Structure 1
Amino acid sequence: MTLLLAGDIGGTKTILRLVETSQKPSLQTICEERYRSGDFPDLVPMVQQFLLKANTQTPEKACFAIAGPVVQNTAKLTNLVWFLDSERLQQELGISHVTLINDFAAVGYGVLGLDNQDLLTLQAGKLNPEAPIAIIGAGTGLGQGFLIKQGENYQVFASEGGHVDFAPRTELEFQLLKYLLDKHDIQRVSVERVVSGMGVLAIYQFLRDRKIAAESPEIAQIVRTWEQEAGRQEKSVDPGAVIGKAALEKSDPLSEQTMQLFVEAYGAEAGNLALKLLPYGGLYIAGGIAPKILPLIQEDRFMLNFTQKGRMRHLLEDIPVYVVLNQEVGLIGAAICAARL
């Protein structure tokens, strides 16, 4: 039996999980706690407090998934003064092996540990266990990555695919591109500016300013509050969540049109990723947004735009496509990564 420590480290909150593993591939959770990241000057005292409460021996291995870039096993969190270094963490925590990975790389490992109830199938396709696996996830940003079979295991590769150019396909999307270029005075628009939480708001503002649909007073006030709080790290409102909820309830035409355009762009970008990798091992839609707007993702709009790739349509119709419902997939992935150290 091996004791492992997994962590999902974010600028706002951190989740720590202690698990044990044996010869079996399953990981059994021993203890789990959530903390406000800003309440601690560094990760070390947080882990020490966690292990003290768990009242167990020091874990042999640890993996921490970081919301930000990881370079040579070091990471600086965007919204915290923390600077994490795996060698320092090993010494100060007394853990033999510590590694840091990007949070979306952790999602890559995590899909390997999901059960059927953690997934919703959008397209069964023709599964090939030897083929690559692709992951894409819209949340705060747009994560993308892939896995390649290496013997009995998979090797996980992170990418910056969310920063490729946004490729408009319709007259409305061309107008959206021009709107974002002018609004932000920039030379290019990444797909992340459209397919993400900030993308939902950007699409809403575009449709509002073009007067394509009337704005409800309630949502208008929430959006204005968000706009007035520009520059703050923590805002008092979440307009993307409100817009998504209104679209699901069909209570606001502007929100409905916003989410229609968002889902179309999301499906198209997932299809772009699938064309580059041909992931017959499965394409997994992770991130925080998809489970919250699941009925909209399940409509024909997402998969129609996924497969609408001209002569390559027949290739994409054979790719299994799943929505990840388990929001702890990154924490599961960190534990799997720790087990492999």
Structure 2
Amino acid sequence: MILAGDIGGTKTNLALYEWTNERVDPIRLESFHSADYTSLEDILSEFLSPPAPSVAVGSDQSNASEKEGLQTASEVKVTAACFGIAGPVIDNHCETTNLPWVVDGLTIADRFAVPRVQLLNDLEATAYGILSLRPDELEVLNAGNPPKKRQALALIAAGTGLGEAILFWDGKSYRPMPSEGGHADFGPNNDQEIELLRYLRSQYLHVSYERILSGPGLHAIYEFLRDTKKNEPTWLMEKIKAGNPAAEIAQAGLQGQAEIATQALELFASIYGAESGNLALKALSLDGVYVGGGIAPKLITKLKDGTFMKGFLNKGRYKKLLSKMPVKVIMNQQTALLGAASVAGALSLKQAS
């Protein structure tokens, strides 16, 4: 049995698999609200705890049932675990970017008696996961025309934060390489984006792409438009205050209910495409670019209207090169979990041999 996890700033997904060499469905999968816990160990303790026996009060079978339940739980032996974590992983240790957590692979291995524990950056885990995706779990933004000889892939994912990764071909398989490119300096492309940068610089010493391409980033774009265009409808202001700002803005924009929300999505999609193009150039990802994270599937109709690809291709003389790169949106929200499971599965096989 292997344990896989996808640890994000908003939620943590954990799953148990009987993983061998190929993708399988999880035996058990649970999701936890990350901010409700003080550490990953707290979540793991809850997830791995034996289930309480379900026995009627006063039943003569209570003791026997309890023993049976504990026996069943004890039979679940985790041979290897892998966790994708939103933050830089150095020496199997991570201080998470959007959570006040410190995660250490050796500490988890010791506490939960797991022989092999591997930590990965969340985008590194997602990169492993895309290698197991089926065609029906992807939406194509650009078909492209990749070369016959394999080169490299790029991965970008906006959610609670912004992650980026590169996959290079080593002659036999794609090998993911983690990155913290989402924290690189935001580079505006036009007068409106220059004004957006000035607006954000009044709030932050450093304006990264993550300040814009994330859930909080969509809200920041909206606030920029609100404060400069003064066109916020009262009903939307109240919904944003009462709910999830990014979700309310996205819904209003996609349904055409408020011009300011539509404009926010337009700017978001354009900058998302531009940074994806930047990553594609830096990685020379001729085999394609994957767009992951929690936001892209929710905005898929917007991403498919051409705004994203216009930003992606707006690279002057390199427009023709970029047009040959396939661009696909990952629709499976468990891709990072799949990637972590594949790595844990490989660790388990090594342990067995």
TM-score normalised by length of structure 2: 0.85
Cα separation, partners in 2 of 1:301 and 1:83, compared to 1, 3 Å: closer
Shift of 1:88: 2.2
Shift of 1:272: 0.9
Residues 146-295 of structure 1 mapped to structure 2, 5 A cutoff: 146-181=166-201, 183-184=202-203, 186=205, 188-211=206-229, 214-223=231-240, 225=241, 237-295=243-301
1:231 is matched with which residue? none
Q: Counterpart amino acid of 1:158?
A: P
Cα separation, partners in 2 of 1:178 and 1:88, compared to 1, 3 Å: closer
Structure 2 distance, partners of 1:175, 1:40, is: 38
Tell me, yes or no, if the aligned pair for 1:177 and 1:189 is still in contact at 8 Å: yes
SS of the aligned residue for 2:89 comes to: coil
Is it true that 1:35 corresponds to 2:32 in the alignment?
Answer: yes
Shift of 1:208: 1.3
Within the candidate set 111, 116, 119, 1:100 is matched to: 119
Q: Counterpart amino acid of 1:210?
A: T
Is it true that 1:4 corresponds to 2:2 in the alignment?
Answer: yes
Q: Counterpart amino acid of 1:19?
A: Y
Deviations, residues 165-206 of structure 1 (Å, cap 9, x unaligned): 21112111111112222x2163x4222222222221111111
Q: Counterpart amino acid of 2:272?
A: Y
Cα separation, partners in 2 of 1:27 and 1:308, compared to 1, 3 Å: same
2:90 is matched with which residue? 71
Structure 2 distance, partners of 1:309, 1:34, is: 40
Moved more, 138-147 or 76-85: 76-85
Deviations, residues 23-77 of structure 1 (Å, cap 9, x unaligned): x422342222233446666544643553434734312111012233322112244
Cα separation, partners in 2 of 1:78 and 1:180, compared to 1, 3 Å: closer
Within the candidate set 126, 129, 133, 1:110 is matched to: 129
Moved more, 78-87 or 267-276: 78-87
Structure 2 distance, partners of 1:10, 1:88, is: 19
Shift of 1:303: 0.7
Runs of 5+ unmatched residues, structure 2: 52-71, 348-353
Cα separation, partners in 2 of 1:248 and 1:38, compared to 1, 3 Å: closer
SS of the aligned residue for 2:166 comes to: strand
Q: Counterpart amino acid of 2:238?
A: Q
SS of the aligned residue for 2:263 comes to: helix
1:230 is matched with which residue? none
Runs of 5+ unmatched residues, structure 1: 226-235
Deviations, residues 85-137 of structure 1 (Å, cap 9, x unaligned): 21222222222111111212111111111111110011111234621110001
Shift of 1:327: 0.8
SS of the aligned residue for 1:184 comes to: coil
1:304 is matched with which residue? 310
Give the count of matched residue pairs: 324
Tell me, yes or no, if the aligned pair for 2:2 and 2:18 is still in contact at 8 Å: yes
Deviations, residues 262-307 of structure 1 (Å, cap 9, x unaligned): 1111111111111111212220000111111111100011111111
Moved more, 166-175 or 323-332: 166-175
Tell me, yes or no, if the aligned pair for 1:278 and 1:319 is still in contact at 8 Å: no
Cα separation, partners in 2 of 1:124 and 1:78, compared to 1, 3 Å: closer
Shift of 1:237: 2.8
Tell me, yes or no, if the aligned pair for 1:5 and 1:18 is still in contact at 8 Å: yes
Structure 2 distance, partners of 1:32, 1:195, is: 28
Cα separation, partners in 2 of 1:312 and 1:10, compared to 1, 3 Å: closer
2:77 is matched with which residue? 58
- Percent identical across equivalent pairs? 41
Tell me, yes or no, if the aligned pair for 1:7 and 1:17 is still in contact at 8 Å: yes
Moved more, 310-319 or 68-77: 68-77
Is it true that 1:314 corresponds to 2:320 in the alignment?
Answer: yes
Tell me, yes or no, if the aligned pair for 2:167 and 2:177 is still in contact at 8 Å: yes
Is it true that 1:122 corresponds to 2:128 in the alignment?
Answer: no
Within the candidate set 132, 142, 151, 2:152 is matched to: 132
SS of the aligned residue for 1:8 comes to: strand
Larger radius of gyration: 2
Structure 1 distance, partners of 2:99, 2:213, is: 25
Aligned alpha-carbon RMSD (Å): 2.2
Structure 1 distance, partners of 2:140, 2:195, is: 33
SS of the aligned residue for 1:165 comes to: coil
Q: Counterpart amino acid of 2:18?
A: E
Q: Counterpart amino acid of 2:322?
A: L
